[in-house]
Amino acid sequence: MAEKEHNLPILAIVVPCYNEQEVLPSTNERLAALLARMVDDGTVSPLSRLVYVDDGSRDTTWRLIESYCRDNSLVSGLKMAGNRGHQNALMAGIDTARDKLKASAIVTIDADLQDDPEAIVEMTTLFNDGADIVMGVRRDRSKDSWFKRTTAQGFYRLMQRMGVDVTYNHADYRLISRRVAFAMKRYPERNLFLRGVIKSIGFNQKSVFYDRTERLAGESKYPLGKMINFAIDGITSFSVKPVRLVFTMGVIFMIIALGILAYVLHAKFTGHAVSGWASMMLSLWFVGGCVLLALGVVGEYIAKIYIEVKGRPRYHIDQWIHNP
Ligand code: UDP
Ligand code: MG
């Protein structure tokens, strides 16, 4: 038995939680049952763990996590020192699972269980068959609100147009192998866009499909503003196309300017030079707007450089509760 256990993969299921007290009890019930089942039927090692990452919640999330760790030896808890956002919480969980749990495979799943946890079984099977990355892909989004669906779809389309390689309808529900977790150590960027990074790592990538359901309880931690920021960050941390576009815009404007130059000279020498208030006002504001926009795009990249150059830590860990 002990011999066999030795060969079983250690699975870590990383769950980022930010103010999730409403949903956590039912989430824990389902995930703990799932992991216990996988341990019992010999799919994964008894050293496997459910790792809740508390991303600086202000409600009773951490107290709930502490109690789950007490009651169930398969549960571990990681408390971050403050709110660092979804991507950093995931990274903290992945780092800890790799270094402290020595996990052979790490699954990340959102606390609201909108992504079907049963797909973890299939992910693990694919992992045992040699996959290094298994992406969870939503089959349809009919359960999402119209607004969420449309904005999310627009997001993928924009990303692809900007040259960022992402998998359509795949968020942060995936399995990665230990060597992918090690590969991620070599991406020190502060501006973390995990789905782009992981996809670009390569290795043997597979997908599993599942139906996305509604949030079990509580409300979305990604309001529109955060989503737009996330999209801008995703694009600017992966692609320099926006700066190219600014350059193209400049070229087009120079060509238009040549046309206007001809027109101006013609008007001056034929004595019609004074009229043209409308075209004057329009070009003033239009060109002014374009210049500001261009500055904004370039500024965005400079801001990114500024953040990266400082090289501040992505997160700090306050507590780590683990049942060895
Ligand atoms: N989350 C986090 N830190 C944050 C915001 C969100 O760890 O600052 C977690 C949250 O608890 C959840 C996951 O990220 O487990 C996804 O958030 P949510 O379900 O609210 O996003 P949505 O599914 O609406 O895009
Ligand atoms: Mg959600």
Q: What is the pLDDT of residue 2?
A: 45
Residue whose CA is at the smallest distance from ligand 1 atom 17? 221
Q: Categorize the per-residue pLDDT at 27 as very low, low, confident or very high, splitting at 50, 70 and 90.
A: very high
* CA 18/CA 88 separation, integer angstroms: 12
Residue pair 25/68 in contact by the 8 Å Cβ criterion: no
Residue pLDDT, tens place only, 127-164? 999 999 999 988 876 666 788 778 878 888 888 888 77
pLDDT > 70: what percent of the chain?
A: 95
SS (HEC) of 77-127: EEEECCCCCHHHHHHHHHHHHHHCCCCCEEEECCCCCCCCCCHHHHHHHHH
* CA 317/CA 290 separation, integer angstroms: 44
Longest dimension (CA), the chain: 99
- Give the atom of ligand 1 at the shortest distance from the alpha carbon of 114: 23
Q: What is the pLDDT of residue 323?
A: 85
Q: Is the CB of 19 under 6 A from ligand 1?
A: no
* CA 308/CA 237 separation, integer angstroms: 10
Kindly tell me the burial class for residue 114, based on how many C-beta atoms sit within 10 Å of its own C-beta (0-12, 13-18, 19 or more): buried
- Name the residue with higher pLDDT: 187 or 6: 187
The whole-model pTM stands at 0.79
Q: What is the pLDDT of residue 225?
A: 79
Please enumerate in sequence order all residues whose Cβ is within 8 A of that of 91, keeping only pairs 6 or more positions apart, or say none.
184, 192, 194, 314, 315
Residue pair 209/141 in contact by the 8 Å Cβ criterion: no
* CA 42/CA 63 separation, integer angstroms: 31
- Name the residue with higher pLDDT: 235 or 126: 126
Residue pair 80/183 in contact by the 8 Å Cβ criterion: no
Nearest to 206 by CA among 264, 151, 269, 127: 127
Ligand 2 centroid from CA 64, angstroms: 19
Residue pair 52/23 in contact by the 8 Å Cβ criterion: no
∠ CA 243-255-272, nearest 5°, is 135
Q: Is the pLDDT of residue 219 over 80?
A: no
Nearest ligand (C-alpha, residue 224) = 1
> Which of 4-8, 76-80, 144-148 reaches the highest mean pLDDT?
76-80
Torsion of CA 9, 15, 16, 18, to 10 degrees: -160
Please enumerate in sequence order all residues whose Cβ is within 8 A of that of 276, keeping only pairs 6 or more positions apart, or say none.
267
Return the best residue to mutate from 115, 148, 222 for the ligand 1 pocket (most ligand atoms within 8 A of CB): 222
Q: Is the CB of 108 under 6 A from ligand 1?
A: no
Residue whose CA is at the smallest distance from ligand 1 atom 13? 110
Q: Which two tokens stand for residue 120?
A: 């973890």
Residues 124, 127, 133, 135, CA torsion sign: negative
Q: Is the pLDDT of residue 3 over 60?
A: no
Nearest to 206 by CA among 138, 140, 130, 141: 130
DSSP 51: E
Residue pair 209/137 in contact by the 8 Å Cβ criterion: yes
- For residue 269, give Cα distances in angstroms to 40, 89, 256, 274, 283: 91, 67, 20, 12, 22
Return the best residue to mutate from 21, 51, 55, 110 for the ligand 1 pocket (most ligand atoms within 8 A of CB): 110
pLDDT > 90: what percent of the chain?
A: 46
> Strand 174-177 relative to strand 133-138: parallel, antiparallel, unpaired?
antiparallel
Q: Is the CB of 89 under 6 A from ligand 1?
A: yes
* CA 88/CA 85 separation, integer angstroms: 6
Q: What is the pLDDT of residue 194?
A: 85
